[in-house]
A and B are shown apart, each in its own frame.
Chain A
Amino acid sequence: MHPLVVQYRAVVVKEVRQTVRDKRVMALLTLVPLVQLFVLGFAVNFDVRHVPTAVVDRDGTVESRDHARTLLAGDTLDLKAEVRDEQSAEELVERGEASVALVFPPDFEEHVLRGSGARVQALVDGSDPVRSGVAADAVARHAALRASQHLREQARVRGETPPRPAVELVPRVLYNPELATAVYVVPGIAAMLLLIVTTIIMAMGLARERESGTMEQLQVTPLRPGILMAGKVTPFLLIGLVDVGLALSVGAWVFGVPLRGNLGLVALATLLYVLSTLGTGLLIATLSRTQQQAFVGGFLFMLPAVLLSGVMTPVRAMPDWLAWVTYLNPVRYYVEVLRGALLKSAGLPDLWPQVLLLAVFGAMVMAVASRRFRKTTA
């Protein structure tokens, strides 16, 4: 066997032994990602339901009560309190006890019966834009529905054919027909957890080698820095692959994430992605003297990497200049591959740009990291 292969194997075996023996690292590599996936899969939910609502019915008529009942009938708005005036309603919103207040004016029924444009005021708490947007949308939908019902009723009274709307929207949701948040979020969480685990483990592992002095012992052997690096990276590449397998199994089993696409493509993208995250961990380690510095460095990298990846918020929603930054982020490409392959059955013909960019990023970060690593260990 070639001496370099012998050295490489020795480093791999040593890394595996040390990793398996360190119960905390083993937990960090296997159990923690699974538990976090489980918890975050349930916790991260964009479905807005049961918005606490205050009602101010200053009309107190059959018509106003009927409208209020219809508005609160679904599971979007929940009646929190009925209050006498707008000021009391505003106070409820200010204290956070209600997110929406519906105000029916004293002449509400009269305007409805006359067909002269009755108004319901909706006071919406804008400090939670998602929730208030959904609540405002629910009120608007109710108004549109009632308007169309009113027009049809009037036509029926006049003995005419009820008018049909000029444009009718018939939505059909593809890939995730139930619009379940978990289906969209779980692949993102898997990418995020893999990033955290591999970057931190690599950065701290190498920093520990330097801090404890073992690196110095290795430097007086004929072991080349490149072989040491390859040997250290290999076990974590495989662990990363296993982690993604576990995460997707839990995702499918617990959260109903479909596994439609080419799993070979997912495995390839995972390997390239983990190469990037490990390379970043290595780079952070070359810039750190202690494990503590490596940990902080890893954290400072991970936070923007997750936020600028599309895992939590869509890249399309970011300002243009910030969206450009996401092109430098491997997490973005990996999440696109996971979501594309798993949810849309997209294959290499659709996702090759992302896979190629993952490979380019992985190769570049590894090259820079190994250059620095050689410099700092030569």
Chain B
Amino acid sequence: MSAAPEGDGAPDVALEEVRRSFGATQALRGVSLAVGRGEVYGLVGPDGAGKTTAIRLMAGLLRADGGRVRMLGEDPTHPRSQVRESLGLVPQRNTLYGDLSVDENLHFFSRLFGLSKEDFAARRERLLDITRLGRFTGRRADALSGGMYKKLALACALLHRPRVLLLDEPTNGVDPVSRRELWELLYTLVHEGMTLVVSTPYMDEAARCHRVGLLYAGELIAEGGPRELARRHGVAASNFEAVFLALVERRNGGRAA
């Protein structure tokens, strides 16, 4: 993975002391982070850490109870926000139309983003090429394998060439080969200048990011480059799980998670 690019000023994505609860459950407890242009930021943590809540807040699907969320300098929940034109989301759940084919899903979302027929034809070809879905264009989305479905979701989210792409556990339930392919695809996008925020419960995926934020019980317990965090805890970058467990132990006063 190449080094993180130098930011040119304002971050593309910023959370400032963001709090969000669901009933009595505090999903995020004053989380602050900033993601610069062209950066791959990994939100790493176990299930229930608050990763999905953070991604949904960034996408404008949720409002924060407190603090401030900024996406490309705007409040993403504002009704007149233009941020949706520049934002792509690959949610954790299967949220495409299962009863429509691969091509029909791509075509539908291209129309919503106002792509011309010519633009769509060109992007469709490229996206089918990089996702290797070209042979399955007529297949219903609900008949795709887990990995192929994620690639289709990614293709739909990339149709309008977003500046920021949010991915909520994109490799969850995906076989190792498809997982590697998916990450290769993400690097391609980063090389093209896209900013990526990826949430993942897999510690080994942290090493693939420029920077990671370790989320635990709604708190950001550490943040930094994966190598730097590993060095700080005296473990190899490939053993990121040890870093995470050490941090959780320290936070819990000597007790492991």
Contact = CB atoms under 8 A, between A and B. Distances in A.
Interface of A: 3, 6-7, 9-10, 13-14, 17-18, 21-22, 212-214, 216-223, 378
Nearest to A220: B89
Given A213-B95, A216-B91, A10 B111 contact: yes
A163 to B, nearest CB: 80
A223 B112 contact: yes
B195 interface: no
12 contacts: A6-B111, A14-B97, A14-B108, A18-B99, A216-B61, A217-B96, A217-B156, A220-B60, A220-B61, A221-B112, A222-B85, A222-B112
Contact of A221 (B84, B96, B99, B107): B84
Nearest to A7: B112
Given A7-B112, A222-B113, A378-B79, A213 B91 contact: yes
A209 to B, nearest CB: 9
A3 B99 contact: no
Contacts of A378: 77, 79
* Interface band, chain B: 20 to 34
B109 interface: yes
9 closest residue pairs by CB, A with B = A10-B111, A213-B95, A217-B95, A221-B112, A3-B114, A220-B89, A213-B93, A223-B112, A222-B84
Most chain A CB atoms below 10 A, which of B77, B97, B111:
B111
Interface string B90-104: 010111111110001
Given A212-B95, A220-B61, A220-B87, A18 B111 contact: no
A18 B97 CA distance: 9
Contacts of A10: 107-108, 111-112
A271 B98 CA distance: 31
A217 B89 contact: yes
A251 to B, nearest CB: 34
Contacts of B93: 213, 216
Contacts of A13: 108
Interface of B: 59-61, 77, 79, 84-85, 87-89, 91, 93-100, 104, 107-109, 111-114, 156
A78 to B, nearest CB: 56
Nearest to B78: A378
A6 B79 CA distance: 20
Nearest to A378: B79
Contacts of A218: 112
A218 B157 CA distance: 11
Given A17-B104, A18-B99, A217-B95, 11 more contacts: A7-B111, A7-B114, A18-B100, A213-B95, A214-B96, A216-B93, A217-B96, A219-B61, A220-B89, A222-B84, A222-B85
Nearest to B94: A213
A317 to B, nearest CB: 47
B84 A220 contact: yes
Nearest to B159: A221
Contacts of A17: 99-100, 104
B81 to A, nearest CB: 10
A154 to B, nearest CB: 83
Contacts of B113: 221-222
Interface-central residue, A3, A21, A222, by most chain B CB under 10 Å? A222
A188 B107 CA distance: 42
Nearest to A377: B61
A102 to B, nearest CB: 65
A216 B111 contact: no
Contacts of A213: 91, 93-95
